[in-house]
Chains A and B, each alone.
Chain A
Amino acid sequence: MEHEKGIDTPATPNKKRKLRNDLILIGGVLVIFVLIGLAIWLFRGEGDLVVVEVNGKTWGTYSLFVDRTVEIRTGEDEQELNLLIIKDGKAYVETATCPDGICAAHKPISRQGESIVCLPHKVVITVKRSDTNAPDIVV
């Protein structure tokens, strides 16, 4: 402690260095805050997803809020098709080569846990969102 007190007497080069270190510290803290904020923001953006699974395996993952068309090709020689459209925060199957067409008749999905299933092609399209009010099960 005595040692500390001795050093406490200000000296000009020390003052400058002190100021510089303070600035570095403040700057560093600001940068970390910004990075954390950015990470949270990015994480939130990725919380709203359309996940496509084929036969139990993840086939593709897309943002619910980036409009796009996805050709889900399955089966031997990728002959089977489910045309997934993601538009205005909703996902739906526009057309499909499956015989029953139940997936294409399904209404657009947008809420956490909602899914469209194509049994013949073993395709499951699920909306995954970070919504704490969402039900555990959607039927």
Chain B
Amino acid sequence: MGGSASHFCNRNMRKKLLIVALAFCLLFSGTALASCKKEKGLQKFSDYSFEFFDTVSTITGYAESREAFDEIASSAFAELQEYHRLYNIYYRYEGMENLRTINDRTDGEHRTVTVDRRIIDLLLYAKELYALTDGNMNIAMGSVLSIWHQYRTEGIDDPENAELPPMERLLAASEHTDIANLVIDEEASTVTLTDPKMTLDVGAIAKGYAVEMVAQSLEKRGISGYCLNVGGNVRTIGKKPDGSGWTVGLEDPLGGDNYIAYLTLTGQSLVTSGSYQRYYLVNGERYHHIIDPETLMPAEGFVAVSILTPHSGQGDGLSTALFCMPLEDGLALVESIPDTEAQWVLPDGTIQTSGGWATYITN
């Protein structure tokens, strides 16, 4: 033992040991820095759900621990679920008046239903967007859209016998799409459909509006560094903890290899309406879900329209409206709305953008 101990204390050996120890320090600090430089106490977490708005809902955010993230994510999803139920036109829920129960009220000529304040708010907002988009986003088109929904669902279930809805039926239904017949009494919190054949379809706006409301709830709690993505309806909540924005890659709707845009969001929303998102095939032809109020057929001008704007409900409604409007009209509309930009993808792959779109582009 004495021998080895004395060796250990040899001067040359000590130098060598020192060098080796230094090398290790460098190596370990280097690898530690490389692997942990982004954490700084906050880690990135993500969770998703299939339960809302017939799509995938993802929440991503930075938190100190999984538990802290889960608490925020589950409260956001719980709130999203309430909106999903209130705004649902296909299902009823025990003890709840929702859009389905409003549409179902066929007793008598007038249908007045007392509803949750959140339904009133959505319908008022939808009326505003109807005016803003000159009727290209019309939630009173339920009678027309329900026919398309029925034919699409049947066509997907039984592709061999898929058919297009007869135009006479669509035209007859379109007689009952006047939004003036949607009467809202804010004080009494009631909704009345004064045309007995009219129904509401909030598919063009409800998801985005719900995402906006959930995002605003999180903001009211002082939460930042989160991002909601409900079926491509993206809403960022503040910046990332390092002060940078959220980068969003927009997939090429025509199947190209590169992102068609690479944007940075710092609290805004980005919503895309695309003909590839929901469709069915009739004799090999694709018929998508965005129905032009003029032609009562799937809108043909674009493959995708993306809207970047602070309010996700506005983004959702505008993306549908612009999908149905000529490019020039849509462009004029977008340029008239502050802090709002748009990108159109035409069927031949041409990309058009509004004036300020480029300011959000990152290379």
**Which residues from chain A sit less than 8 Å from chain B, CB to CB?**
3-4, 7-8, 14, 17-18, 21-22, 25, 29, 33, 36, 40, 55-56, 99-100, 102, 105, 107, 111, 113-114, 117, 119, 122, 124, 134-139
Instruction: Find out whether the CB atom of B232 lies under 8 angstroms from the CB atom of A29.
Output: no
Question: Which residue of chain B lies nearest to A17 when distances are taken between CB atoms in the complex?
Answer: B7
Contacts of A136 in B (CB 8 A): 60, 227, 240, 246-248
Q: Which residues of A contact B234 (CB under 8 A)?
A: 137, 139
Q: Are A55 and B16 in contact (CB under 8 A)?
A: no
Contact with A along B49-70 (1 / 0, CB 8 A): 1100011100010000000000
A50 to B21, CA, bound (A): 40
From B11, B27, B246, contact of A137 by CB (8 A): B246
Point out the residue from B20, B157, B259 that lies within 8 Å of A135, measured CB to CB: B259
Task: Indicate if the CB atoms of B7 and A124 lie closer than 8 Å.
Answer: no
**Can you name 29 A-B pairs with beta carbons within 8 Å?**
A3-B9, A7-B6, A7-B9, A7-B10, A8-B11, A14-B3, A25-B20, A55-B50, A56-B48, A56-B49, A56-B50, A99-B157, A100-B156, A100-B280, A111-B249, A119-B56, A124-B56, A135-B247, A135-B262, A136-B240, A136-B247, A136-B248, A137-B60, A137-B229, A137-B249, A139-B232, A139-B234, A139-B250, A139-B272
Q: How many angstroms from the CA of A29 to the CA of B249 in the assembled complex?
A: 44
Q: How far is the CB of B34 from chain A (nearest CB, A)?
A: 9
Please indicate the chain A residues that have their CB under 8 angstroms from the CB of B240 in the complex.
136
Question: Interface size class for chain B?
Answer: 35 or more
Q: Among A8, A113, A119, A136, which residue has the most Cβ atoms of chain B within 10 A? A: A136
* Contact pick for A107, options B3, B31, B50, B255, CB 8 Å: B255
B13 neighbours in A (Cβ, 8 Å): 18, 21
Q: A107 — which chain B residues lie within 8 A by C-beta? A: 255
User: CA of A100 to CA of B152 in the docked complex: distance in angstroms?
Assistant: 10
The CA-CA distance from A109 to B7 in the complex, in Å, is 60
In Å, the complex CA distance between A21 and B3 comes to: 13
Contacts of A105 in B (CB 8 A): 276
Within the assembled complex, what's the spacing in Å between the Cα atoms of A91 and B27? 36
Instruction: Tell me, yes or no, whether B167 is within 8 Å of chain A by CB.
Output: no
A18 to B10, CA, bound (A): 9
In the assembled complex, the CB of B191 is this many whole angstroms from the nearest CB of chain A, namely 30
Q: A25-B16, A29-B23 are in contact. Are A138 and B56 (CB under 8 A)?
A: no
Q: Which among B7, B20, B247 is the interface contact of A21 at CB below 8 angstroms?
A: B7
Given A105-B276, A114-B251: 13 more A-B contacts, CB < 8 Å:
A7-B6, A8-B10, A8-B11, A14-B3, A21-B13, A56-B50, A113-B249, A135-B248, A135-B259, A137-B246, A137-B248, A137-B249, A138-B248
Distance in angstroms between the alpha carbons of A124 and B229 in the assembled complex: 15
Q: Given that A29-B23, A113-B249, A139-B234 are contacting pairs, would A119 and B272 also be in contact in the complex, using a CB cutoff of 8 Å?
A: no
B352-363 contact mask (Cβ, 8 Å, vs A): 1 or 0: 000000000000
Q: Main SS of chain B's interface residues?
A: mixed
Please tell me if the beta carbons of B157 and A29 are within 8 angstroms of each other in the complex. no
**A18 neighbours in B (Cβ, 8 Å):** 7, 10, 12-13
How far is it, in angstroms, between the C-alpha of A75 and the C-alpha of B259 when the chains are bound?
Answer: 34
Bound form: Cα–Cα A100–B280 in Å: 7
Whole-angstrom distance from the CB of B152 to the nearest CB of chain A?
Answer: 9
B154 CB to closest chain A CB, in angstroms? Answer: 11
Q: Which residues of A contact B20 (CB under 8 A)?
A: 25, 29
**Please, how many angstroms separate the alpha-carbon atoms of A136 and B278 in the complex?**
25
B16-56 interface with A by 8 A CB criterion = 16, 20, 23, 27, 31, 48-50, 54-56
C-alpha gap A100/B48 in the complex (Å)? 21
Shortest Cβ distance from B237 into chain A, in angstroms? 13
Give the CA-CA distance A21 to B23 in the complex, in Å.
18
Q: Specify which of A29, A99, A122 is in contact with B50 (CB 8 Å cutoff).
A: A122
The answer, yes or no, to whether B270 is at the interface (CB within 8 Å) is yes
Check B251–A139 contact: CB distance below 8 A: yes
In B183-240, which residues have CB < 8 Å from any A CB?
A: 227, 229, 232, 234, 240
Complex Cα–Cα for A59 and B10 (A): 58
Contact indicator B227/A137 (Cβ below 8 Å): yes
A40 to B35, CA, bound (A): 11
B229 touches A4 (CB 8 A): no
CA separation between A55 and B50, bound complex, in Å?
A: 8
> B246–A17 contact, CB under 8 A?
no
Does the CB pair B11–A4 fall under 8 Å? yes
Bound: A107/B156 CA distance, A: 20
B12 to chain A, nearest CB (A): 8
